[in-house]
Structure 1
Amino acid sequence: MPKVSRHLAQLRNCGLLIDRRDGQWVYYFLAPVLPRWIEDVLKAAQQGQTERLALLQNRLVSMGNRPERRFSMC
């Protein structure tokens, strides 16, 4: 995970991501304003990986809301 964190930090430092911290969790989001070429790259990736993205989306949905799960354990 340290490499992932470093890569996310680099993307945040470049202005491509923003983050929000909630306890031990850090939530990353695409920056609201992106260069046009980034939007083109993301659209191309989405078009080429629609099936895989759908599977990943289903996995995320099945995990539920992390903050809600955390509070239910307290």
Structure 2
Amino acid sequence: MNPVNFYKCLADDTRLRCLLLIQHEYELCVCELTAAIDESQPKISRHLAQLRKYEILTDRRQGQWIFYQINPELANWAKEIILTTLNANPAWIEPNIANLNAMGERPIRMQTCCS
């Protein structure tokens, strides 16, 4: 993992919010991130593609939907930074968590946006 690329990814507001939300929820799909961050699907997808390019995120396909999670093979120092940032800044993503919660619990969310 190139630390410069890692920190460049974290330096963008949308990418950092995506990472922290994914860390908080374990995994999220594009539609959940779109609702949580209140950005367009193409913008969220572009940011997720960059996070995948640098192997910060991995994805899995379920039907037509793709779910993202922190790469389990990400260097420990990088995982620690993401987790520490999340734990030290809960208020920063609080509105995004509220948007996710407004969608309902995960099974309901998946029925409404991931089906």
Common fold, TM-score beyond 0.5? yes
Task: Indicate the RMSD between aligned Cα atoms, in angstroms.
Answer: 2.7
Taking the TM superposition and a 5 Å limit, the aligned residue runs for 1:39-58 are 39-58=79-98
Give the structure 1 partner of residue 22 of structure 2.
none
Q: How far apart are the structure 1 equivalents of 2:81 and 2:66?
A: 24
The aligned residue for residue 66 of structure 1 is 109
**Cα separation, partners in 2 of 1:71 and 1:30, compared to 1, 3 Å:** closer
Q: What TM-score do the two structures reach when normalised by structure 2?
A: 0.46
How much has 1:3 moved relative to structure 2?
4.1
Greater gyration radius? 1
- Encode CA deviations 1:13-44: one digit per residue, 9 max, x unaligned: 22211112342x33211111221221232133
Q: TM-score normalized by structure 1? A: 0.63
In structure 2, the CA distance between the partners of 1:40 and 1:71, relative to structure 1 (3 Å rule), is closer
Find the aligned partners of 2:81 and 2:75 in 1 and give their Cα distance: 10
1:28 to 68, 71, 74: 68
Identity within the alignment, %: 34
Deviations 1:35-64 (A, max 9, x none): 122123213321331123344223212213
Contiguous gaps of at least 5 residues in structure 1: none
> Which 5+ residue runs of structure 2 have no aligned equivalent?
1-39
Instruction: Supply the AA of the counterpart residue of 2:110.
Output: P
1:70 CA displacement: 5.1
1:4 paired to 2:47: no
2:75 and 2:114 map into 1 onto residues whose CA distance is 38
